[in-house]
Each structure stands twice: as C-alpha cells, then as structure tokens.
Amino acid sequence: MNVQTDTPPLSADDTRRRIFAIVGASSGNLVEWFDFYVYSFCALYFAPAFFPSGNPTTQLLNTAGVFAAGFLMRPIGGWFFGRLADKHGRRRAMMVSVFMMCGGSLVIAVLPTYAKIGALAPALLLVARLFQGLSVGGEYGTSATYMSEVALRGRRGFFASFQYVTLIGGQLFALLVLVILQQLLSTEELKAWGWRVPFAVGAVAALVALYLRRSLDETTTAEQRQRKEAGTLRGLMQHKAAFLTVLGFTAGGSLIFYTFTTYMQKYLVNTAGMHAKTASNVMTAALFVYMIMQPLFGALSDRIGRRRSMILFGVFATIGTVPLLHTLKDVTSPYAAFGLVTLALAIVSFYTSISGLIKAEMFPPEVRALGVGLSYAVANALFGGSAEYVALWLKSVGNESMFYWYVTALCAVALIVSFRMRDSSKEGYLRNEP
C-alpha cells in the first residue's frame, strides 16, 4: 500500500485496508500509553514503597520527579525512532517501540521496594521509567506519522484523531484497571502488592500489540527511505520554521493536556480533598467522554481547517484555565468536578484531536517521522512531563495558584503561534496524497 503518490480515487478494498491499518496502529498506541500512564495513576499507592516519608506531598513530588525524568528521554526517543522510521520504515519503528515498553513495564511489576534493597529501589524505578520514556518518545512520532499517511484524504482530521482516541484510551484503561483493583482490594493490599498488577497487565498487552503490528503495511517507498537526507537532522533543519511552529504550540498543548488528565486525579485528592476512589471515578468518566470527543473535533477540523481549530484552542485555553482550576480547587461535589474537568478537556480537544496530523502535514515524507517525533518530544519533555512536578512543587512552597498562570502563559504562546501558522490542511505536504 503506497500512499505517497497522487492516485485515482481509492477502491473499496484499499479503503478497508487503510482503516484496518489505523486500527492496527491504534492498538499498539493504546498499549504503549496504558503502560506509561499506569505509573501516574498508581503513584498514590506505590510512592511510600519507594520514597519512605511521612509527608504525602513529598512522596508524590518524588514520584512526579521520576515521571518527569521519563520525559527527558523523549527527545532521544523522538530522534532515534524518527530516524529509524524515516530510513527503515514506520512499521519497524513501531514494533521496536512497543517491545521496549513491554520490558519497562515488566521490570516495574517485579521491582523490589525500598524496604528490601534500599536506595537501589528508586534508582531502578528511574531506569525503568527512562527506558519507557525512550519508547514513548518514539511511539508518538511514528504512530502519528503512520496514521496521518494512511488516513483517507478529505477525512484526515477524523481518522487521524484516533491516535488520541487510543492515547486517551490507554489512560482510561489504566484508570479502569485501578478502579477495579480499588473495588477488589483494600488500601493496605494496594500499597503492599496490588499496584504491581497493572504493570504486569501492560507487559502482556504489549506482546499482543507487537503481534498485531507485524501485519501492518509500510507507507513509505524504498526511494524515499534511501534519500541522503532521510531521517537526518540536516534534512530536518531545512524545515526549521515548521519545527519551531510545532515546538511553540506543543508546549502549551502538552502542558494543559497533562494538567487536566494525569495530574488532575492528584489535584482532586491532594488539593480539593476528594477521596482517592471518588477522584478515580470522576476521572474515569471524564476521560471516557474526552475519548469520544476526539473524532468529533477531528471531523470539525476537516470542515473549518487545522489553523482555525488551533486558534480556538488557544483562545479558550488562555481565558479558561485559571477560572477552571480555581473552581476545581474548592469543588465538593463529584458531579461538579466531572462537569468542570469535561469542559476543560473539551477545550483541549481542539488541539489533541489533530495534534499528530497537524505536525505530519508540515514535513515531507523523508523527515516526517523525525520532524513530528523530535519537535513533539522536546516540547513535551520540557513542559508536559514537568507539569505534575511544577504543580506539586509550587503547592509545597505555598504558591499553588502560580501554576494556573504558568499553564495560561504557555497556552497564550500556542495561540500566538497558531495565528502565525499556515493552514496545513490546505497547504501541507500531505495535501496531494490520497
């Protein structure tokens, strides 16, 4: 299946193959993100096992630091897997990344605690997270590129949005596993050994995804992979404007995404005073609605254009972040919390539904995976991965509201960049491809 040339309308068989390709790529994407986010959602239970301290905020701050460290590996993963995908094919890169994620999850599932091996326990936890960060750094760019290339022309926003359907689905699946364990096990059992179960589940699921990805069609040609600039930084730097544009809007987009997804569970518990089980239920429901939103907002971008969708994201995120977080700080009703979080995630959906596609449309095929993966990983490592750490640190020093303005400022940068960018859905490199 060659999607890089301008061809007549697709046959029904080719259309089905493209849809199956998106499903196959999405399944691996879901498993990758399930494995990565299980760490964040289970941190409330395993933090004391690796960071013994009487202060819950200090424990969470330490686990958030390890979470952020995983993000620091993303630029390396974005470069390594982007180069691999551009020079040796998207399919191979996606198979290697999901295999690496499997290994990281398996290590965490069997890792001894601080009580058994002392300071070596958090050190090994950090190594496993760095390994997973490398994997996810490659997964985003390669899966976003692949799904954009196989998506049907004229409906790319809709089909490419399934990258975030499965990314959010990975979060939701991780949260659902935790909710089930909360119903079956006591808090003491969860802290003692129950937190290991989701990591073991993720390791097994990654092997299933590896099998599914073996059957995917390649989307690049041998000629494209053999070009001297393919997968090279020199080739990528011929498109510096696109690279800087992606950095600009990904900084705000990633920061607000992690604020209202992975960090929000801790925020509801640690700041609003909500019970951990209640917060998990709220976030499960909100993430489910958020997941369903993605194809709707993706289809909207097919009608109004990517640039307009990004401008709407920037406007609403800039004016809405501070009021939403201030209101959530004092929320007492789980229903009100659900409504507020869902509203915030609707705003974020203008960005996330087309996040991978809008990046892919800015780069030519020979450096597309590298351009998408590296630019996203750099901004994500600096701003997305540090979201929890910055929020918890500001809370620990008694200045939590400063975090609200920090998120707002980065979203304002995304708005400015969106105003200045061209509409990639009309002028991007994918515009003449089927």
- 326-352: average pLDDT: 95
- Pick the residue with more confidence: 64 or 432? 64
Summary mean pLDDT of the chain = 85
Closest to 368 (Cα-Cα) out of 280, 317, 429: 429
Residue 54's pLDDT is 61
User: What is the 8-class DSSP label of residue 332?
Assistant: -
Q: Which distant-in-sequence residues (6+ apart) come within 8 Å of 65 by Cβ?
A: 389
SS3 content of the chain, % helix, strand, coil (to 5): 80, 0, 20
Residue 25's pLDDT is 79
Residue 8 has pLDDT above 60, yes or no: no
Residue 316's pLDDT is 97
Burial of residue 393, with CB atoms counted within 10 A of its CB: 0-12 exposed, 13-18 middle, 19 or more buried: middle
* pLDDT > 70: percent of the chain: 91
Residue 4 has pLDDT above 60, yes or no: no
- Helix axis angle, 401-420 relative to 240-259, nearest 10°? 150
Closest to 314 (Cα-Cα) out of 351, 359, 356: 351
Residue 7's pLDDT is 42
**Mind listing the domains of the chain with CATH numbers?**
18-424 (1.20.1250.20)
Whole-number Å distance between alpha carbons of 370 and 365: 10
- What is the DSSP secondary-structure string of 270-310? HTS---HHHHHHHHHHHHHHHHHHHHHHHHHHHHH-HHHHH
Residue 227 has pLDDT above 80, yes or no: yes
60-111 residue pLDDT tens: 777 777 766 777 788 898 899 999 999 989 889 988 888 888 888 899 899 9
162's enclosing H/E stretch is: helix 162-184
Residue 251's pLDDT is 93
In degrees, rounded to 5, the angle at the alpha carbon of residue 171 between the alpha carbons of residues 323 and 290 is 50
Burial 317-345 (b: 16+ CB within 10 A, else e): bbebbeebbeebeebeebeebbebbbebb
Residue 409's pLDDT is 96
Binned at pLDDT 50, 70 and 90, residue 349 comes out as very high
- What is the DSSP secondary-structure string of 38-85? HHHHHHHHHHHHHS--S-HHHHHHHHHHHHHHHHHTHHHHHHHHHHHH
Residue 338's pLDDT is 97
Residue 55's pLDDT is 64
Residue 424 has pLDDT above 80, yes or no: no
Residue 5 has pLDDT above 60, yes or no: no
Binned at pLDDT 50, 70 and 90, residue 9 comes out as low
Residue 228 has pLDDT above 80, yes or no: yes
Residue 431's pLDDT is 57
> Would you tell me how many other CB atoms lie within 10 Å of the CB of residue 225?
17
100-154 residue pLDDT tens: 888 888 998 999 988 888 878 888 888 888 888 888 888 888 888 888 888 777 7
Binned at pLDDT 50, 70 and 90, residue 257 comes out as very high
Whole-number Å distance between alpha carbons of 212 and 203: 15
